[in-house]
Chains A and B, each alone.
Chain A
Amino acid sequence: MEFRITRSELLRALTRIQAIVEKRNTMPILANALIEAEGDKVFISATDLDVGIRGAYGATVVGKGSITVSARKLYEITRELPEDETVTFRTEENDRVGISCGKIDYKLVGLPPEEYPGLPKGEEKNLVEVQASTLRDMISKTLYAVSTDETRYNLNGLYVETDAEKGVMKLVATDGHRLALVTRKVEGVDLTKFDQGVVVPKKGILEVKRLLEEDDEPVKIGFRKGHAVVKKKDVLLVTRLIDAAFPDYNQVLPKELKFTLKVEREPLLASLRRVSVLSSDKSRSLRMELGGGRLVISSTNPDVGEAREEIAVDYDGDALSIGFNARYLLDAIGAFDEKDVHLSFNDELSPMKLHPAADEDAVAVVMPMRI
């Protein structure tokens, strides 16, 4: 195998896979990138067995073939090469690789490509196109609520659901204490081609997010047979799905809520942050007291002191005093980006629902704390 590629194109390829390359030493070959040359393209892949990326990059291929070589070393080498240069890449005896750029020469020890475990086997059929901005927004409003508790593994990812009739896609996340749900119209795509209700692990979602942050290029996505596939121009990303049922989130979405409160988002966030400084380290609890046209947020930490802040609000419901984990409120309200936020609730022991005032399709639900 031999090809020539510009430094910038090679660097782009290697940057893209750095986060995936396996750092743990369970299987040494996973530290390598799989490099394949064919036609006028070079394909560069990496996988940690859960997530895999394969990208196609423009190159002049002199002889086709494939090899695997340390992704980290290759990245460090490429980064230090002079800009605007062309890099020549060729395989030699015994799975060795020669890299030259002008008068610079490297020799790297590789491993045979046949031994590379390859990307998870996702189906590239029946993909549907989604705007990058839409998917980005949906992920950023839900990702924070994904559970990190490994024993609740069915919650360790984003739940994806589609409703072909209404033409909507939903993303849901919960850790058992709070829940985030975003519903968005997906124009002009055939959602019937999706498997229903899949859970994409957080690790995979983080890779998808990275891909979406590169540019505004639309992506094609599909969920089939235990794998999620995301395709953007010349890149393919495959992630394995969590093999477990997601809880029935509709059951925990509060239906009728007695009291609602509209608050300006930025000042509320600032108050919460100020008061949470003194919330107890262990429970992170703070208290929201409502009544008499005001909202009082307070926290007490027996070892440190207490904090209290009053916000004038338009509220004429019952007097209530509810405890919350400060971080849950900050996460939920912080993920919104509109000017005002609605908070609705029933009582001290029932979940509170939050959403941007102008967007009822982005919802957060937070369960109170007993205080």
Chain B
Amino acid sequence: MAEPAARVIVHIDMDAFFVEVERLHDPALRGKPVVVGGDPDGRGVVAASSYEARKFGVHSAMPLRTAKRLCPQAVFVQHHRGRYSEASEEVFDILEVFAPVVQPVSIDEAYLDLTGTERLYGAPDAAVTELRAHIRRKTGLPSSAGIGGSKLVTKIASGLAKPDGQRRVRVGDERAFLAPLAISIIPGVGKVGERRLREGGVRTIGDLDRLGRPRLEAWLGESGVWLWECSQGIDEREVQPGGDPKSIGRETTFWEDTGDAEFLESTLHHLAERAASRLRRHGMRARTVNVKFRTSDFRTSTRARTLKAPSWRDADLIPAALELFRQLFHDERGGRAKVRLLGAYFSGLSREAAQMDLLEGERERREENLIRSVDAIRDRFGDGAIVVGKVIRYLEEE
């Protein structure tokens, strides 16, 4: 039997993610040591720090007061969870388009399985260079990547490549790559494990290799076997696709509460369009359309409508969202409410087979092609580049 083709796995990790997102919002932070977490005189801890601050010994989970003592010139900024999850969604949108299998690890980190994409993307190095450049173009955020044949190796490689770099470990080169590295770099070897290994004279991964499997097993049991496998770069874990989302949506908070129905409708139109585009990217259809709405007195209302059949078409989803909004807005003090937050969500997601329409079949096919190309244009140039509604209207007038 032929040897199965070697896997191509990529670990991609955003560089100082929270800091970089804050720098997008406040360009004055660029080039300066930045600590995310809040008031340096308060009781909080560091959520993230820039590379400039790390040079002074600042690291995550350190009390903010300590960070201030170590690096008094750092700029301390508040933690904005909404900003990070929004940026993260944008990054994952790109990853999901790019890779056949994406396993999210955390808000700013993922494994990709690119096995079998060489014909499409060419050599993995070039493909990942292009991917990282694309992420930077679209989101303004730097990232680093490790490329290799297993999760273990790529995770270590991406760490070594930081910041803003990438490193490839060819299949067969794993032992040589790992040998000089300190054992603490292996994910899962904690402080305690490290001390125990040191006591036994093991400092580098190469030391593990030299000890050999039987001795490690006799010494540390199952952990010993695992450590030996690590030293060989053996890690059979697969890249597991993240579960399907339960709902997909977009929302926005206004700088200033507004009661301008026309403005609110056009905003909702835009939000629903972006959410629908994300829905299609997941290859899913939604059965239920939800609109969420918070008034200036912080009361939140939501309303949902179930479609006749699951759909990913703007033409089904957006009018339903607008209709729901009009009802909510009308019921909310007869259209005189001021709105603080507005959102469109799709739920009841599925990949069920969808019946095509006989009478509308031709139109549906044309619309599908059109929407797919619009989605592609958006992936490339961003959401603002094109408004689907207008294009569809153009199609109708033809």
Q: Across the interface, do B359 and A369 meet the contact criterion of CB distance under 8 Å?
A: no
One of A149, A280, A367 near B356 (C-beta < 8 A): A367
Q: Which of B327-361 contact A (CB under 8 A)?
A: 350, 352-361
Report Cα–Cα, A252/B357, bound state, in Å.
10
Closest chain-A Cβ to B319's Cβ sits at a distance in Å of 14
Of B353, B356, B360, B365, the most chain A CB neighbours within 10 A belong to: B353
Q: Does A222 contact B (CB under 8 A)?
A: no
Give every chain B residue within 8 A of A177 (Cβ-Cβ): 355-358
Q: Across the interface, do B355 and A351 meet the contact criterion of CB distance under 8 Å?
A: no
Q: Across the interface, do B352 and A351 meet the contact criterion of CB distance under 8 Å?
A: no
Give every chain A residue within 8 A of B355 (Cβ-Cβ): 177, 283, 325, 367, 369
Q: Across the interface, do B358 and A367 meet the contact criterion of CB distance under 8 Å?
A: yes
One of A176, A282, A283 near B358 (C-beta < 8 A): A176
One of A149, A176, A280, A282 near B359 (C-beta < 8 A): A176
Q: State the main secondary structure of chain A at its contact with B.
A: loop
Q: Across the interface, do A351 and B353 meet the contact criterion of CB distance under 8 Å?
A: no
How many A-B contacts if CB must be within 8 Å? 51
Give every chain A residue within 8 A of B353 (Cβ-Cβ): 280, 283, 285, 323, 369-371
Give every chain B residue within 8 A of A120 (Cβ-Cβ): none
Interface size grouping (class) on chain A: 20 to 34
Of B350, B352, B355, B361, the most chain A CB neighbours within 10 A belong to: B355
Q: Across the interface, do A179 and B352 meet the contact criterion of CB distance under 8 Å?
A: no
Closest chain-A Cβ to B201's Cβ sits at a distance in Å of 53
Of B350, B352, B356, B361, the most chain A CB neighbours within 10 A belong to: B356
Report Cα–Cα, A96/B308, bound state, in Å.
50
> With A252-B361, A349-B365, A351-B361 given, is the CB distance from A368 to B356 under 8 Å?
yes
Q: Which of A348-371 contact B (CB under 8 A)?
A: 349-351, 365-371
Chain A positions 254 through 291: 1 when the CB is less than 8 Å from some CB of chain B, otherwise 0? 00000000000000000000000000101101000000
Closest chain-B Cβ to A324's Cβ sits at a distance in Å of 9
Report Cα–Cα, A180/B332, bound state, in Å.
48
Chain A positions 112 through 131: 1 when the CB is less than 8 Å from some CB of chain B, otherwise 0? 00000000000000000000
With A323-B353, A351-B358, A367-B356 given, name 7 new contacts (CB 8 A): A176-B360, A177-B356, A252-B359, A282-B352, A367-B355, A369-B356, A370-B353
**26 CB < 8 A contacts A-B:** A174-B358, A176-B357, A176-B359, A176-B360, A177-B355, A178-B358, A252-B358, A252-B359, A252-B361, A280-B353, A282-B350, A283-B353, A283-B354, A283-B355, A285-B352, A323-B353, A349-B356, A349-B365, A350-B361, A351-B358, A366-B358, A367-B361, A368-B356, A369-B355, A369-B356, A371-B353
State the B residues within 8 Å of A (CB): 308, 350, 352-361, 365
